[in-house]
Structure 1
Amino acid sequence: MRIRPRQQLLDLWRAHLKTSYRDDAWVWGGRDGSNAISDAEQLMCLLYPATELASFALDPDSIATADDVASVLSVLGDDIQIGGALVRMIEEFFDRYTDADGEPIFAGGSYFRDIGHGEPTPAQRELDVVDAYSMSLSLCIAALRFLRGLQRYLHQEVRREARRLNEQINALTPRVSSRLTSAMVGLIRSFVIHTPPFASPAGQEILALVNQTGADAKDVIADFSAALEQIRVQAANDVRTSQVPDIDLYDDSLAFECGWSWGIDARAGDVDEVASRIGKQPGYAVSEPDLYFTLVVLEGIKDLYSQRTQEPDLLDGHQLQLAESLKRRAELTQRFWSTISRFGTGRWPLEDLPWRTSDAKQSDYYSLVVTAFLIQDLLERESTTDLSRTVAVLTQLAQRARIINREVPDDPAAILHYPGITLTLKGSEGDIGGPLLGYQVGDFSTLLLKRSLQAARLARDVGIREQLFDLATSAMAHMQSRAISHGRSVGLWDNLAPTGNSADPAPSWFLTERMMECLVVAHYTFSGPPLATRAMVHTVIGKITEAEHLLNQELLQISDAAYSPSFAELAAIELSLDRARAILTKRPHTAESLATDALLRLNSLAYAREDANR
């Protein structure tokens, strides 16, 4: 199984449009119905690659230079028609998820699940969920970048349809920006700091997690508090808001964890400077971080402070302040989970599979999420420290999830893939009434694939990089076996779920969108330079140095270069060595091949001269 990100992204787009674009109209919804998250995921499958990868850009100039992209998008039309179709899709999304008062809708809808206490009530299905905030954040950034790129092209056009489309964009852009602001505020109000006493059940769970040596509890608490001292100070100075005045971040008798809950914190205060409802509506979620929602938020926040988002005027002044606030929370959260995952001097808590949460839940999925936090932390610091141990955890998780090993009948690991783990949304049964809600996530394989590819970019050891590529290849093969194989949605995901229409199964946009993200990451990984370690470079330098010295010796043998039959050969060797030096640190093995070839050719010249002398 070979990963071919460009071809596979084009295949995904082709299958996506066959499913979603019928009779000149966009068809919303998939296996899990239609809601603010699923529909955003459906749209992101097109917009995200188009705004992340230059070779997939959807402005008319770019499409004109990429025949394969133009062929896939031909169902939308050609030239300016493609841009117009995409603008209409974005408009439809904003029409569907904006209420009569002009407020954006972030409801979980059909993604909320019955976990044995009864079906969600209509009022509960309208509850905001952090997944919708995070996905809208990424969608709005992608939409703004696409609309801006399209407008740059339209300003050069004089056709009537170009003027109409430009007017549409002018009307749509403020709506996109408004939703972005609301999503950012929702994420700020959903950030939580959880400080249970160590004597409480939650505190005892945290203590048991970090105490991997069976040491005295007092000693472990002291070491744990010392390890988190800087994080507590940062939380107190940079992140903490007036919504949690009762938390003492300097009390060493309290445990500590931070991240994002499933929705707005029940204790969240108002954000007065925001005129929209999102800054003042009451929260329902308990003040405990959830690993899944924390991960999706960190992924979304990366889009805010990525280099591509630093385009002039993409964010207004208020949004820049909100982005900075979210960035501080993201950095704090990532540092915390990276620290706790490797706490202690012996076995890491992360290596004690499966990971245990402070509410006494445990799963290999949680272990994978914490591993994802650690890999992201290593990537941002460009550190290979502890990478080999992290890769060992990834490998073990792949084995336990039957991505490497063969699945057996009634295998308990199968639940990781379908239906996935069920998150309990504590507080969802609050004042509005109704049962306790659940939320299913089954992206174990795509999460493993994505992190393996990202970690491979960081690896500086050939063995570790090969191990990561093997993991990625196994995960990709697993996902390819789960692609829908018949019906309209052939090539999308997922074939594990039972469907009401077995002849034409609907796709899961949740999983398809995550596969798209993996292919974008693979594109970045393969676009980078190959591995070039110091030892590799040192070996090649020795060969180049020897070859250049022998070349100089051969040149000493030529009395008149213009009449020497060997001069052309020596000139070609010199060019090869110049090329070897130019690519030495980027492609050391190619440079070594050039140097080796030069040495062989120089040896042939020397042997021929010695033979002639004899």
Structure 2
Amino acid sequence: MRIRPRQQLLDLWRAHLRTSFRDDRWVWGGRDGRNSISDAEQLMCLLYPSTELASFALDPDSIATADDIAAVMAVLGEDIWVGGALVTKIEEFFDAYTDADGEPMFAGGSYFRDMGFGEPSAAQRELEVVDSYSMSLSLCIASLRFLRGLQRYLGHEVRREARRMNERVVALIPRVSSRLTSAMIGLIRSFVIHTPPFTSPAGQEILKLVNQTGAPDKNVLADYSAALEQIRVQAENDVRSGHAADIDLRDDNRAFECGWAWGIDTNAGDLTEITSRVATQPGFAVTEPYLYFTLVALDGIKDLYSQRTQEPALLEPHQLQLAESLKRRAELTQRYWSTISRFGTGRWPLEDLPWRTSDGKQSDYFSLAVTAFLIQELLERESTTDLARTVAVLRQLAQRAKIINREVPGDPAALLHYPGVTLTLKVSGAIEPGPLLGYHVSDFATLLLKRSLQAARLARDVDTREQLLDLAAAALEHMQDRAITSGRSAGLWDNLGPDCDAAEASPSWFLTERMMECLVVAHNTYTRPPLATEAMVNAAIGKIGEAEHLLNQELLQVSDAVYSPRFKELAAIQQLLDRAGDVLTKRPHTAEALAANALERLDALAYAREDATR
């Protein structure tokens, strides 16, 4: 299946508006009802592409010049009314998830699941979750980009409705900025460093994970300490906040792992320098990193220090300090998981499928999450080291999840996709007791699609790149098979839920938003220059060099009759070779094709001359 990001994003927008905008009224919620995460995902499906991709911008000037986008957005109106409709939706979101004291709320709500011990209590549903912090962070960045762009346009407008809308934008921006600050604080206080003794069950699980050769524990522990020495030092010096002061993070008798808990760490310290409920409320999550929540936290944090965030100076001074703190935690986390996934000199722990966490759980989803950390680390270093082995892991995971292979009835791999991996959310005793909390994660296929497309940017050889694009195409085909096919939500995701056979199946905004992210990544991947290896460039140079030599020979036999047909043909060939030289290093195969065309035309001239001689 061919990935066509622009058309598929427009189709997603069209289906989104058909579902969300009914009878001139916006309808919030999907399959899982309303909560701070789902509503943010619903908005992000529109705002993220419009602020991440210049060709999808929703400011009035861009809409006026892009006929296809104007046609899709016509349901919201024309000109500034599209912007006005989105401003209204952003206002409604902030009204719904701000308490009476003006404090942002990040409750997991209906995303918390029954683990077989009864429905979560009302108090439990109000617990705040890292998924909401991270999604709100990305939503706030996208909203600020959109609002600032709209504000610049409205500043030149003299119409009364434009002035009124500008007043609403001016009033909304501080509310967005306040939620952004709270989301950043929530992520800082949810970051954890877990250091169980090697004699504990968690320490033993980590030891078994990294010992892929059956070596004596003494040798493995020595190698483990050496591999993580710099990471431990960085943790001790830069990001110790919230960890017990009486524990030495460089203690070789303790294991080490870091990342994000599912909510604010029970040992998190207060951030008293900032006035916010999130900065001082007691923690409730056990000090253990979750791979899923670590993954979503890193995705949100990357929006903070992306180039597009820095250009318009969206962040305030105190937010820049928080962003730097989050960046240090993100770098430490990525470095840790990249190191531990490739630990040792033999088989990687990552290659020993499925990945086992320190609490004894194992799943192919965890393997894919760790692979995602590794790919992101390679992307940031622009390194192809170990890329081939990483691609092999991705392909094996795709086979095990039946994204490449055919699924059979009753196949346990189907559970990866629906209901997905169920995470048990461990809480401390500081909150009101209730039934065990669960959290479903069903984005295996979109995670595979996204990381395959990102890794394709790194590939420096045709075979590796083709493998990654084939994996992406297979994952896209799997997702297309899961799209809703009838009713208002046709074209959104997914059709594996309990109401998939209903006449009006509700969309999963959790999955639809992630599919939107994949299409944005595909768009960015395809806008990069095509693969240009040294071998490809050398092949093109050989053809260009031969053509240049033959052209010079032909020019020796042409008189100064510059208007002769032969001279004009040689001039056209010279243009071909000049163009080939211009694109040589960026598009070597194009340069080779131009040189081949020049060689054919030069051969035709030589043959004609020889024929005339005969």
Q: TM-score range by the shorter chain?
A: over 0.9
1:479-514: per-residue Cα shift (whole Å, max 9, x none)? 000001111111101100112981111000000000
- Residue in 2 aligned with 1:298? 298
- Residue in 2 aligned with 1:273? 273
Query: How many angstroms apart in 2 are the aligned matches of 1:529 and 1:218?
Result: 49
Query: How many angstroms apart in 2 are the aligned matches of 1:243 and 1:452?
Result: 35
Query: How many angstroms apart in 1 are the aligned matches of 2:380 and 2:190?
Result: 24
Q: How does 1:258-269 map to 2 (within 5 A)?
A: 258-269=258-269
Query: How many angstroms apart in 2 are the aligned matches of 1:611 and 1:409?
Result: 70
Q: Secondary structure at the match of 1:113?
A: strand
Q: Secondary structure at the match of 2:413?
A: helix
1:151-180: per-residue Cα shift (whole Å, max 9, x none)? 111111100010000000010000000000
- Residue in 2 aligned with 1:186? 186
- Residue in 1 aligned with 2:378? 378
Q: Secondary structure at the match of 1:245?
A: coil
- Residue in 2 aligned with 1:387? 387
- Residue in 1 aligned with 2:232? 232
Q: Secondary structure at the match of 1:562?
A: coil
Query: How many angstroms apart in 2 are the aligned matches of 1:319 and 1:238?
Result: 18
Note if contact 1:558-1:564 (Cα within 8 Å) is conserved in structure 2: no
- AA partner of residue 24 (structure 1): D
- Residue in 2 aligned with 1:495? 495
- Residue in 1 aligned with 2:94? 94
- AA partner of residue 439 (structure 1): Y
- Residue in 2 aligned with 1:604? 604
- Residue in 2 aligned with 1:60? 60
Q: Does 2:2 align with 1:2?
A: yes
- AA partner of residue 268 (structure 1): A
- AA partner of residue 176 (structure 1): V
1:1-39: per-residue Cα shift (whole Å, max 9, x none)? 211110010000000001101122211100001000000
Note if contact 1:244-1:267 (Cα within 8 Å) is conserved in structure 2: yes
Q: Which 4+ stretches in 1 moved above 6 angstroms?
A: none
- AA partner of residue 283 (structure 1): G
- Residue in 2 aligned with 1:366? 366
- How far the C-alpha of 1:562 sits from its partner, in A, is 2.2
- Residue in 2 aligned with 1:221? 221
- Residue in 1 aligned with 2:26? 26
Note if contact 1:429-1:437 (Cα within 8 Å) is conserved in structure 2: no
Note if contact 1:37-1:135 (Cα within 8 Å) is conserved in structure 2: yes
1:349-382: per-residue Cα shift (whole Å, max 9, x none)? 0000000000000000000000000011111111
- Residue in 1 aligned with 2:165? 165
CA root-mean-square deviation: 1.1
- AA partner of residue 474 (structure 1): A
Q: Secondary structure at the match of 1:561?
A: coil
- Residue in 2 aligned with 1:508? 508
Note if contact 2:266-2:428 (Cα within 8 Å) is conserved in structure 1: no
- How far the C-alpha of 1:558 sits from its partner, in A, is 1.4
- AA partner of residue 338 (structure 1): S
Q: Taking structure 1 as reference, are residues 555 and 357 closer, same or farther at Cα in structure 2, changes over 3 Å only?
A: same
Q: How does 1:559-574 map to 2 (within 5 A)?
A: 559-562=559-562, 564-574=564-574
- Residue in 2 aligned with 1:557? 557
- How far the C-alpha of 1:331 sits from its partner, in A, is 0.3
Query: How many angstroms apart in 1 are the aligned matches of 2:305 and 2:98?
Result: 26
Q: Taking structure 1 as reference, are residues 596 and 309 closer, same or farther at Cα in structure 2, changes over 3 Å only?
A: same
Q: How does 1:84-233 map to 2 (within 5 A)?
A: 84-233=84-233
Note if contact 1:429-1:436 (Cα within 8 Å) is conserved in structure 2: no
Query: How many angstroms apart in 1 are the aligned matches of 2:279 and 2:245?
Result: 19
Query: How many angstroms apart in 2 are the aligned matches of 1:482 and 1:500?
Result: 10
Query: How many angstroms apart in 2 are the aligned matches of 1:525 and 1:312?
Result: 23
- How far the C-alpha of 1:243 sits from its partner, in A, is 4.5
Query: How many angstroms apart in 2 are the aligned matches of 1:184 and 1:598?
Result: 59
Query: How many angstroms apart in 1 are the aligned matches of 2:25 and 2:347?
Result: 56
Note if contact 2:242-2:267 (Cα within 8 Å) is conserved in structure 1: no
- How far the C-alpha of 1:561 sits from its partner, in A, is 3.3
- AA partner of residue 560 (structure 2): D
- Residue in 2 aligned with 1:246? 246
- AA partner of residue 108 (structure 2): G
- Residue in 1 aligned with 2:11? 11
Note if contact 1:244-1:268 (Cα within 8 Å) is conserved in structure 2: no
- AA partner of residue 219 (structure 1): N
- AA partner of residue 210 (structure 1): V
Query: How many angstroms apart in 1 are the aligned matches of 2:589 and 2:400?
Result: 36
- Residue in 2 aligned with 1:528? 528
Query: How many angstroms apart in 1 are the aligned matches of 2:62 and 2:273?
Result: 40
- AA partner of residue 426 (structure 1): K
Q: Does 2:472 align with 1:459?
A: no
Note if contact 1:428-1:435 (Cα within 8 Å) is conserved in structure 2: no
Query: How many angstroms apart in 2 are the aligned matches of 1:312 and 1:462?
Result: 37
Q: Does 2:515 align with 1:486?
A: no
Query: How many angstroms apart in 2 are the aligned matches of 1:574 and 1:530?
Result: 25
1:380-436: per-residue Cα shift (whole Å, max 9, x none)? 111111111100000000000000101111101000000001001101675311112
Query: How many angstroms apart in 2 are the aligned matches of 1:414 and 1:201?
Result: 30
Q: Secondary structure at the match of 2:562?
A: helix
- How far the C-alpha of 1:117 sits from its partner, in A, is 1.9
Q: How does 1:419-498 map to 2 (within 5 A)?
A: 419-427=419-427, 430-498=430-498
Structure 1 alignment gaps of length 5 or more: none
Q: Secondary structure at the match of 1:343?
A: coil
Q: Taking structure 1 as reference, are residues 158 and 146 closer, same or farther at Cα in structure 2, changes over 3 Å only?
A: same
- How far the C-alpha of 1:587 sits from its partner, in A, is 1.3
1:422-468: per-residue Cα shift (whole Å, max 9, x none)? 00110167531111201000000000000111111111111111111
- How far the C-alpha of 1:560 sits from its partner, in A, is 1.4
Structure 2 alignment gaps of length 5 or more: none
Query: How many angstroms apart in 2 are the aligned matches of 1:467 and 1:312?
Result: 38
Query: How many angstroms apart in 2 are the aligned matches of 1:565 and 1:483?
Result: 59
- Residue in 1 aligned with 2:319? 319
Count of equivalent residues: 614
- How far the C-alpha of 1:548 sits from its partner, in A, is 0.8
Note if contact 1:107-1:127 (Cα within 8 Å) is conserved in structure 2: yes
Q: Secondary structure at the match of 1:64?
A: helix
Which deviates further from its counterpart, 520-529 or 96-105? 520-529
- AA partner of residue 423 (structure 1): L
Query: How many angstroms apart in 2 are the aligned matches of 1:430 and 1:408?
Result: 46
Query: How many angstroms apart in 1 are the aligned matches of 2:116 and 2:288?
Result: 22
- AA partner of residue 28 (structure 1): W
Note if contact 1:124-1:428 (Cα within 8 Å) is conserved in structure 2: no
Note if contact 2:192-2:242 (Cα within 8 Å) is conserved in structure 1: no
Query: How many angstroms apart in 1 are the aligned matches of 2:431 and 2:54?
Result: 48
Query: How many angstroms apart in 1 are the aligned matches of 2:469 and 2:312?
Result: 37
